[in-house]
Structure 1
Amino acid sequence: MYKNALYRVAENRPIAREVFRMRLLGDTRWITAPGQFVNVRVDGCYLRRPISVCDWDGGGLTLLYRAVGKGTRLLSRALPGETLDLLTGLGNGYDPSAARGRRTVLIGGGVGVPPLYGLARRLALAGEPPAAALGFQTAADAFLAESFLTLGCEVLVATADGSLGERGFVTDPLSRLDYGYYFACGPEPMLAAVHALGREKGAEGQLSFERRMGCGFGACMSCSCETLAGPRRICVEGPVLRSGEVRF
C-alpha cells in the first residue's frame, strides 16, 4: 500500500561527487521494509523520480541520490523548509528474516548502496551485523563506508581505478568472502555477476533492480522484466526479487 503525502526538506547536501543526502520530515508509516522506494514530484518534470529509501524512522526518511539528469539536478537545489510531494511505501522490499542464522553480505554498486544501509541497521539491531561489499568508480564517488563500519559491519570497498580499497569490481573482494546469504542492489551487469558468484558458492539472495519507471505503482507496465515465472513489474513485484526467480 502506498500513500501520497507532503514532506518538508530538513537537509539536502552533497556527500560525494554528484551524490546528495536529503532528509525529509513527515509520515513514514507506509514504509514497511528496507529496499522500498519513493516517487518524488519535481516541478518542471512530467514524470516523478523514483528514489530508494536509504533509511527511515518515526520522524522522517533519508534519501541518497545522484544528480545526473534534469529531475535530480532540480531536486539537488531544494532548500530546507521547502515541501516535496511524494508517493511513499512503493515496491517490494528486502526480507531480512530470510538470512537469519546465516553469514550475510550486502553488496552495493554506486547509487545501489543507499537502500542497503537501512537493511544493515535493522540486521545490526537484531544482533546479526552483516558484511558489506561496496563498489564505486573512484574514491570521489564513494560514500557510506564509515556508516556501515559504525554499525559493526565488516566493510570491503573496491574502486575501478584503485583510488580507494581494492582495484577492480565489487565481486573481486566478494569472491574471497565466505557467506551463505546476500542482498544486492546496483546496475544489472553487477547483479548478474553477483548472482553467478552466489550460485558458485551455493548462496541464496535477494537482488534489487534499477529500471526506468513511469507511474511507479504498476499501472503503466513500463518497468516490466522477464523472470523464470514470467513478466514482473519492478515497481510492484520488485524492485527486490529472489535469486531463484531471476533470469539473466
Structure 2
Amino acid sequence: MNFLYEVKGRGTEHLAALKEGDRLNLAGPSGNGFPVESLSGKIAVVGGGIGTAPLYQLVCELDGKGCQPDLFLGFRDEVYGVERFVPHCGQVGIATESGRVGTRGFVTAVFDPSQYDWVLCCGPEPMMKAVAALCKQHDTPCLVSMEKKMACGVGACLGCTCHTKSGGKCVCKDGPVFNSEEVFDL
C-alpha cells in the first residue's frame, strides 16, 4: 500500500516515521465518494496540491469504466505524481503559481468547464470554490471532495463539520463529496 501525504501534524508525523514492514491499523474508507457509476459524458477531474492524491483512484475508476477523464492539476511550485495519472487520462493540464511547470497561475486558467458534462474537484477550499464558481458560470455540475481533519470517522465527534445550505454536515459521514452549490455560496 502506498500513501501520498504531507506532514501537517501528529498523525502524518507518525506516518512519516514508519518503516517498511511496520504495522498500521486503518479504518475506512468512510463517507460518500464520487458517484463514479452514475457519471457519464465528458468529465474533467481538477485537483490542487495534496488534494491531487485521492484523485488518482478516481481517475483509475473512471478509466476502468471506459470514461477517460481530462485532468487538470494546480500546484504552488513543486509538481508531483502526475506521471501516474497520464495513462488513465485524455488531456492533462498543469498550472503552477510560480510558472515553473505548465501554465503560470491557477488551475482555473487551464480548463474550460463549458466543455464538460461534469467537473470533479479536490484540493484547497479556495481553489475548489474558484473552480465551483467557474462551473456555475457555465452551468456545469461540479462535485467537490472536502478536506477536513477527521477524528472519529463516523460523525460522532462533529470535528469535521462543514456548513451546507441544509445545515452542518460531517465530512467523514455525509461527504466528503458534495455538490459544490451545496457547500459554497456562489
Alignment pair present for 1:147 and 2:80: no
Residue aligning to 1:130 = 69
- d(CA) in 2 for partners of 1:69 and 1:196? 31
Residue aligning to 1:99 = 39
- d(CA) in 2 for partners of 1:160 and 1:106? 19
Give the TM-score taking structure 1 as reference length.
0.70
- d(CA) in 2 for partners of 1:164 and 1:130? 21
Unaligned runs of 5+ in 1: 1-22, 24-61
CA 1:98 to 1:91, structure 2 compared with 1: closer, same or farther past 3 Å? same
Alignment pair present for 1:81 and 2:7: no
Deviation at 1:177, TM superposition (A): 6.8
Indicate the percent of aligned positions where both proteins have the same amino acid. Answer: 37
Partner AA of 2:39 in structure 1: A
- d(CA) in 1 for partners of 2:148 and 2:154? 13
* Larger helix share, 1 or 2: 2
Structure 1 runs, 4 residues or longer, greater than 3 Å off:
none
1:170 to 96, 104, 107: 107
Alignment pair present for 1:224 and 2:161: yes
- Count of aligned pairs: 185
Q: Kindly report which structure 2 residues correspond to 1:173-184, keeping only aligned pairs within 5 A, or say none.
A: 173-175=110-112, 178-184=115-121
- d(CA) in 2 for partners of 1:244 and 1:177? 17
Deviation at 1:171, TM superposition (A): 0.6
Partner AA of 2:72 in structure 1: A
Give the TM-score taking structure 2 as reference length.
0.92
Does the 8 Å contact 1:180/1:202 carry over to 2?
no
Unaligned runs of 5+ in 2: none
- d(CA) in 1 for partners of 2:113 and 2:45? 14
Alignment pair present for 1:243 and 2:186: no
Q: Deviations over 1:54-108 (max 9, x none)?
A: xxxxxxxx321112333312311211111001112212111013431x2100010
What is the CA RMSD across the aligned residues, in angstroms? Answer: 1.6
- d(CA) in 2 for partners of 1:162 and 1:182? 24
- d(CA) in 1 for partners of 2:144 and 2:20? 33
